[in-house]
Structure 1
Amino acid sequence: MPRFSGKTVIITGSSNGIGRSAALLFALDGANVTITGRNLERLEETKQLLLKSGVPEKQVNSVVADVTSSDGQDQLVKTTLEKFGRIDVLVNNAGAAISDNSGVTGTDQSLDIYHKTLQLNLQAVIEMTKKVKPHLIETKGEIVNVSSIVAGPQAQPDFMYYAIAKAALDQYTRSTAIDLIQHGVRVNSVSPGVVATGFTNAMGMPDQASQKFYNYMAAHKECIPAGVAGQPEDIANIILFLADRKLSSYIIGQSIVADGGSTLVMGCQAHDIKTMMGM
């Protein structure tokens, strides 16, 4: 029997990238899935991918909604309960590094960008967690948050608001994990490094430039020692692992880093020590 048979999963930000891949893997493994995003066309692409992969339509609840709005959050919870009758897993995947339209970065970014960044990457997670909490307590369910290696300890001077939000999300994961485990609900997260998704497009980078970015990162060992950019399914598989009570039952409040080794290297290691010493 599929390991998530009879279980229901809500995946925010599932109209592309990691969320889309997670939705497919959960559904193929027997889960009922609520997929959601703001873009109707991209969300429909996710739904059609599931259906063409053999997932019955009765297993899919597709909801066009803004997860940063209270109405959008309520719609996700309400329609999921109406269609499937329960909630077993919440995957807080929606997130983005929001660019300033004026092109500024670092300390010159506006407070408006700060508020929008934290609203999407942190506040929406807090609100969704609060609204789904009673249903997860009922099913002894799981929460998997999608963080990022930008949370630190390395500095992120260009997109510091995004880094701040993810660092706060890591603390929220740890804190809610201890708060909710007393009710039988587990909370964990995954922290991806460079993953080839629509993330850079959302920052305003066209497809060709995005591909050049991923290629450059993969080709430089100080960026990705593994020599390859991650793929959405690399992270989605970790999400399913953390949502699987049988496989990860003793993991509480942790974040699994999946970055091809990026956070283990320093810039100076990109240079040959013998060359540095003139040997």
Structure 2
Amino acid sequence: MGRFSDKVAIITGSSSGIGRSTAVLLAQEGAKVTVTGRSSEKIQETVNEIHKNGGSSDNINIVLGDLNESECQDELIKSTLSRFGKIDILINNAGAAFADPSGKIGSEAAIGIFDDMMKLNLRSVVELVKKCRPHLIASKGEIVNVSSIAAGPQPYIYYTYYGICKAGLDQLTRSLALELIPFDVRVNSVSPGLISTNFLGAVGMGDDVVKKTEEYYSTHRDCIPAGRTGKPEEIASLIAFLADRKSSAYIIGQSIVIDGGTTLVLGMPSHDLSKALA
């Protein structure tokens, strides 16, 4: 019997990275999981990982689609309830930063980039929480949002729009926590630093540039005191801790930083990455 036995979890953005690791961990510890993403191939890789770690097909629900679309959100909830009968845990992990094709950064990036990031990183979370709300109240459930140290208070000019979205998500976390705790629903979030996932690749960096970026920051301890990037599994462990009522019952409305010490030294924003990678 795992700590999530008889629990039902929806994990958005579970086709790779932190979302995949979270789905695998929760399933390994007994949860029934709904995994979702846009790529059927990547979602199947997540399912395969769940199987490798002892999960059963009977406890996996798959929803393919774009989380920005209401139809996908509705299907997530409808299929989860149809398959498992309830929703205990909502992990809002789906998110991304998008690069301006012109190469502009900060507030000079195209406003359309801002709109796209706001829709995925914040609006989709607001919509999904609204739709899951009655079911989470019924189960006295848990919400864990995945934010980022890009939310501040230190700025990251390469990710200005992304940071704005995540700062909004942090405020949403705090507001929802107060709003829902009278119904015995807890809301918290995690704020990762630089993690070895496909995040930088999705921004538009090639594999060699991603590798150079991670190596550069890892070897500068004023950027990452731990001397390495984080692992998706480490973030998944923190998410699971916050989703487990027995372990974290008195933690409400917090955004817990997990960044290898990056925000302690504040060196990363002062480095000109374009010169480092030249």
Aligned residues: 269
The alpha-carbon deviation at position 108 of structure 1 amounts to 1.4
Counterpart mapping for 1:72-221 below 5 A: 72-221=72-221
Determine if contact 1:11/1:92 at 8 Å carries over to the other structure: yes
Aligned residues with identical type, % of pairs: 55
Counterpart secondary structure, 2:33: strand
TM value normalised by structure 2: 0.95
Determine if contact 1:65/1:75 at 8 Å carries over to the other structure: no
Gapped runs of 5+ residues in structure 1? 271-279
Counterpart secondary structure, 2:161: helix
Counterpart secondary structure, 2:168: helix
Are 1:18 and 2:18 matched, yes or no? Answer: yes
TM value normalised by structure 1: 0.94
Counterpart secondary structure, 1:62: strand
Letter in 2 for 1:69: E
Determine if contact 1:193/1:259 at 8 Å carries over to the other structure: yes
The alpha-carbon deviation at position 51 of structure 1 amounts to 1.4
Distance in structure 2 (CA, Å) of the matches to 1:161 and 1:155: 11
Distance in structure 2 (CA, Å) of the matches to 1:103 and 1:267: 23
Any runs of at least 4 consecutive aligned residues in structure 1 with deviations exceeding 3 A, and if so which?
A: none
The alpha-carbon deviation at position 157 of structure 1 amounts to 1.6
Determine if contact 2:154/2:266 at 8 Å carries over to the other structure: no
Summarize deviations over 1:17-66 as a string: whole Å, max 9, x none: 00000000000000000000011111111111111222110010111111
Distance in structure 1 (CA, Å) of the matches to 2:216 and 2:109: 26
Letter in 1 for 2:66: D
**CA RMSD of the aligned region, Å?**
1.2
The alpha-carbon deviation at position 267 of structure 1 amounts to 3.5
Counterpart secondary structure, 1:118: helix
Counterpart secondary structure, 1:158: helix
Distance in structure 1 (CA, Å) of the matches to 2:258 and 2:266: 17
